[in-house]
């Protein structure tokens, strides 16, 4: 399993210290107030967190994907919203690194590495999310520009992102449909509005919004890789790291819930003894620890596969599926361990219970993940060695 370098272990330790010192003491209040964590995001920039996936010559501190997984887990352990704020940013960085022109790399990656520019994706639409080939947002060529019309939803950091990787149809008549889809690297401007903020069960603080494009114009140089019709395949590759990142967030939430439950089970007494000594509670703790350990191994395995350069949608799908379902189960059982206090907003376990479902439906629902996994198992003739 993945071994981090000394430098990478030091980076994870610095992030863990930041989470314990500055995030956990304020996360509950910020979350309940649904307040955007400006100061914490600024500190993440100073720590170089937004540049961890961007190598030289564009960034300074690129790390392996297993290290990136551990950093994401630590952030989510403190407050999942912080890990969510960097998820789409990483996917866009990887898209530009892999498919972008030299000019696009020079234009965006150095500023993304410092966090000066934060990026997000615009994939999902009000009429559907999982079936990306059925999207209705169009980008029609008009001379040296594209004219964009359509609506996107569930866009993280929508108004605070300086760069948006927009999935749109540049050829609505193409068959099969995916051949008419492209990615445009767009910025806020005339014709692009944040039409509404979406109310959410969890994932508070960091905004999730609807974006409306009405005759929005962007230069043809915004086309990722300068080739039309490749957007669907490009995004599918980008979603490999996206799903690994979501799985890492689930690890963080599950770990936080487990650690809170373990601590509470040692402190709380009933019938004259700590509640962990009661078999039912002890069993919860044992199951939490076992499933969390298994989830971490799956996520690190997917991270190593991704770094190998081989296709990793099977591994990313399995990691995302198992880690997110594990986080949801652990969060629920942490509420059980806390009893009535688990239902109180004075304890963090109710937040974990509200945050965990996002990883089940985000970055491709777990129902879609099962479809991806099954298709890859058939294509590969079973599990790889």
Which CATH number fits the domain that encloses residue 295?
A: 1.20.140.10
Structural domain ending residue among the three candidates 211, 230, 249: 230
Structural domain ending residue among the three candidates 181, 198, 230: 230
Residues 143 and 209 in one domain: yes
Residues 163 and 209 in one domain: yes
Question: What pLDDT is recorded for position 378?
Answer: 95
Residues 266 and 193 in one domain: no
Cis peptide before 29 (omega within 30 of 0): no
Residues 373 and 241 in one domain: yes
Going along 220-351, which residue ranges are E strands?
A: 269-270, 273-274
**Do 182 and 109 contact (CB within 8 A), yes or no?**
no
Structure pTM?
0.96
Residues 239 and 309 in one domain: yes
Structural domain ending residue among the three candidates 116, 137, 163: 116
Residues 190 and 98 in one domain: no
Give catalytic status of residue 363 as yes or no.
yes
Residues 237 and 364 in one domain: yes
**Do 80 and 203 contact (CB within 8 A), yes or no?**
yes
In the chain, % helix, strand, coil (3-state, to 5) comes to: 60, 15, 25
Report the domain count for the chain.
3
**Do 23 and 82 contact (CB within 8 A), yes or no?**
yes
Q: How far is the C-alpha of 60 from the C-alpha of 62, rounded, in Å?
A: 6
**Which domain does 132 fall in, by range?**
120-230
The catalytic position among 7, 210, 363, 367 is 363
Beta strands at 163-169 and 119-122: parallel, antiparallel or unpaired: parallel
CA atoms within 13 A on the CB side of 257: 35
The residues pairing with 148 across neighbouring beta strands, listed in sequence order, are 139, 216
**Do 299 and 244 contact (CB within 8 A), yes or no?**
yes
CA dihedral over 163, 165, 169, 174, signed as positive or negative: positive
Q: How far is the C-alpha of 362 from the C-alpha of 246, rounded, in Å?
A: 8
Q: Establish if 385 belongs to a structural domain.
A: no
Residues 255 and 332 in one domain: yes
Residues 275 and 375 in one domain: yes
Question: What pLDDT is recorded for position 308?
Answer: 95
pLDDT tens, per residue, the chain with 385 residues: 578 999 999 999 999 999 999 999 999 999 999 999 999 999 999 999 999 999 999 998 889 999 999 999 999 999 999 999 999 999 999 999 999 999 999 999 999 999 999 999 999 999 877 788 889 999 999 999 999 999 999 999 999 999 999 999 999 999 998 899 999 999 999 999 999 999 999 999 999 999 999 999 999 999 999 999 999 999 999 999 999 999 999 999 999 999 999 999 999 999 999 999 999 999 999 999 999 999 999 999 999 999 999 999 999 999 999 999 999 999 999 999 999 999 999 999 999 999 999 999 999 999 999 999 999 999 999 988 7
């Amino acid at each position: 399993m993945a071994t981090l370098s000394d430098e990478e272990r030091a980076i994870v330790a610095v992030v863990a210290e930041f989470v314990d010192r500055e995030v956990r003491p304020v996360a509950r209040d910020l979350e309940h107030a649904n307040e955007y964590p400006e100061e914490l995001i600024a500190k993440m920039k100073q720590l170089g967190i937004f540049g961890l996936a961007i190598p030289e010559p564009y960034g300074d501190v690129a790390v392996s994907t297993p290290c990136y997984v551990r950093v994401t887990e630590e952030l989510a352990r403190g407050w999942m919203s912080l890990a969510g704020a960097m998820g789409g940013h990483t996917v866009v960085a990887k898209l530009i690194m892999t498919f972008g022109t030299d000019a696009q790399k020079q234009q965006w990656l150095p500023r993304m590495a410092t966090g000066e520019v934060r990026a997000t994706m615009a994939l999902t639409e009000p009429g559907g999310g999982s079936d990306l080939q059925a999207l209705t947002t169009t980008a029609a060529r008009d001379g040296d520009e594209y004219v964009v019309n359509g609506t996107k939803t569930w866009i993280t950091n929508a108004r605070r992102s300086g760069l948006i990787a927009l999935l749109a149809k540049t050829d609505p008549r193409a068959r099969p449909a995916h051949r008419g889809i492209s990615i445009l690297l767009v910025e806020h401007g005339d014709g692009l509005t944040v039409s509404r903020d979406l109310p959410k069960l969890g994932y508070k603080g960091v905004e999730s919004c609807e974006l409306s494009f009405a005759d929005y114009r962007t230069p043809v140089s915004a086309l990722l890789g300068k080739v039309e019709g490749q957007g669907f395949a490009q995004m599918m590759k980008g979603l490999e790291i996206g799903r690994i990142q979501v799985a890492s967030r689930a690890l963080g939430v599950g770990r936080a819930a487990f650690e809170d439950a373990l601590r509470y089970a040692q402190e709380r007494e009933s019938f004259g003894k700590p509640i962990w000594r009661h078999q039912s509670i002890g069993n919860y703790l044992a199951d939490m620890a076992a499933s969390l350990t298994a989830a971490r191994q799956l996520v690190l395995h997917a991270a190593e596969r991704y770094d190998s350069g081989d296709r990793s949608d099977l591994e990313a799908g399995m990691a995302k599926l198992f880690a997110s379902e594990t986080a949801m189960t652990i969060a629920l059982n942490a509420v059980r361990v806390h009893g009535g206090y688990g239902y109180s907003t004075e304890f963090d376990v109710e937040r974990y219970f509200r945050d965990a479902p996002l990883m089940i439906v985000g970055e491709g629902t777990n129902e879609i993940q099962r479809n991806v996994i099954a298709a890859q198992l058939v294509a590969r003739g079973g599990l790889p060695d």
